[in-house]
Amino acid sequence: MQKRILISAGVLVAAIVAGVTLLNPGAQTVSAQDQQTARVERRTLNSTIETTGTIEPEDSVLLSFGMAGSVSEILVEVGSEVRAGDVLARLDTSDIENQIARQEQSLIMQQASYDQLIADPSAREIAQAEATLASAQSQLIQAQINLDTAPNNLTINCANLDSAALQLERAQEDYDDYVNDGYQMDATFIPDADSEPGERLRDAQSSFDVAQAQCNETPSVEQLEAAVSAAQASVDQAQAALDELLSGPTDEEMSSAQAQLDQARLLLDDVHTSLDDAVITATFDGIISAVHITRGQLVSANTTAITLVDHAQLHVNVSVDELDIAQIATGQSALIAPEALNGQTIEGLVTRIAPTSTITDGIVTYDVRVDLTDAGSLPVRIGMTTEVEIVVGSLDAVIVVPTEAVQREGQNEFVDVLNADNSTTRVAIVSGTTIDGLTVVDGDLTEGLTVIIPQRSSAQAGNNLPFGGGN
C-alpha cells in the first residue's frame, strides 16, 4: 500500500487578472498582459498522511446451530437489522419438546418427594404413627400372654381328646359286635348304618374329630415364641417410624433426596440446552450480511448458517509506513473518501495504533484503525475501498501566498504586491513551511493583498525556488 505525506490546505481562490509586468523594486506602473495574480490569505494548513483501506464493521460473526437437525424457520434475510437476542433461525424441535415434557414431570415428582421429606409432620401423621405403635404393642402383649399360658391352653384344649378317643373305641366295638351278631344269625345280613350302634359310632367319630381338631389348633410353644418375636419386630418398626417422623430425615436421606432432585434438574437443563442449540440468536445489534441456509435443509452442528455484522461503528484499518508512524497518534482527525462516492468525504478519528509492526515483502508497516465519526446520509457500505488522509500537523491562522509568487534575489526573498493603480511594490518576506502549493510567509503582508505570480522560464523557476522550510 502506497503512503506519502500530503498537505491539504483547502481551496485556494486565485484571482487571474490581465497583464502585469514585473518591474524594479518599489512602486511602478505595469501593463496588464498575461500576468497571473493571487490573494494573500490567512489560512489553517493541515499536514496529512495519505493511505488506503477498506471500510469494515466493528464486529462480524458466523452464526451456527449447536446441534444437527432440519431447518424449520428462517426469520431474517440479507439486510435485516436485528437486536441482540433476536431469534434468527430455528431447527425442528418436536422431539426435544417431548423430552422436556417428560423431564419436567420427573422433576415435579422428585420435587414433591423432596418437599415431603423435609416437611414437618402433621398432627394427623403423628396420630397415625402413634396409633400404629399402640396396636403393635397390644399385639405384642397378647402374643406374650399366649406364650405364657401355652401349657394350660394345651391341657385345656386337648383334655377331651382322650375321652373322645375312648368313646370312639367303645362305639366301634359295639358296632363290630352288632355286625358279627348279624352275620351269625343270617349269612345274608346287611349292616344298617342308621342302626343304634351305627349312630353311636358316627356320633363318637364326630366328637373325636372335634376334640382332635381343637387339640391340633392349639399352637406350639415354638409357634408362640415366633409370634412374640414377630410382634416385637412390629413394635420396633412402629417405634422407629414414629421417632423418624418426630426427628425428621437423616443426613443420608437428605443427601439422597437432594441428589435425586439435582439429577432431575440436570437432565431437564440438558434438554433445555439442546433446545437452545436448535435456535440461532443475534449476539449483538447488527445487520444480516449473509444467509447460508434454506428452510427444510438438514444441517450439522457448527455449520455456518448466518453472518451477522455490527455496523454501528464502521472503521478503516490502514497500514502506515514505519517512516511515518511516529507522526500518528490516537485522537488525530482524518478524512475518509470512499472511491464509490465520487469525491464525497467522511470525517474520521484515529482510535488505535498497533504496538507491533507487520512486515510484507520487506516493507515494515503498522496497522492503524480510523473510525468513521460522521457518515451522515451517505450510502456507505461495508467493503468499500477508500482513501484516508490522517491529519498529523496543523498551522493555524498563518499568512500564505502561492509558492510560485515567492521570488528570490540572492539571499533575499520577496513578493510583488499589485497596487490599485496597477503599480507594484516589492515586499520583503521570509518564507516558511510550504504545504500543497502554498507557502507560509513572514513580512509586511496582510490578507486581502494581491500578489503577482511571475512568469519565468524553467531555469528561472529553478533559481527562484523558496528556501524556507516546508514539506
Alpha helices in 186-278 (DSSP H): 196-217, 221-247, 251-277
Task: Report whether pLDDT(326) > 70.
Answer: yes
Termini Cα distance of the chain:
21
C-alpha cell at 385: 475501498
HSE (side-chain half, CA atoms, 13 Å) at 90: 11
- Counting every residue written for the chain, the total comes to 471
Identify the pLDDT of residue 429: 94
Identify the pLDDT of residue 33: 47
**What is the pTM assigned to this prediction?**
0.50
422: closest CA among 16, 24, 28, 14? 28
Pair 201, 174: CB distance under 8 Å:
yes
Pair 402, 437: CB distance under 8 Å:
yes
Query: Stretch 224-253: mean pLDDT, rounded?
Result: 87
425-443 pLDDT per residue, tens: 999 999 988 887 899 999 8
Identify the pLDDT of residue 65: 93
Place of cell 417428560: 102
C-alpha cell at 417: 504586491
Average predicted confidence (pLDDT) for the chain: 84
Identify the pLDDT of residue 159: 65
- CA–CA dist 86, 200 (Å, integer): 104
Residue 347 confidence class, pLDDT cut points 50, 70, 90: very high
- Domain 60-88+279-310, second-level architecture: Beta Barrel (2.40)
Identify the pLDDT of residue 34: 59
Task: Report whether pLDDT(467) > 60.
Answer: no
C-alpha cell at 470: 516546508
3.65.10.10, 2.40.30.170, 1.10.20.10, 1.10.1060.10: CATH of 4-57+313-463:
2.40.30.170
Task: Report whether pLDDT(11) > 60.
Answer: no
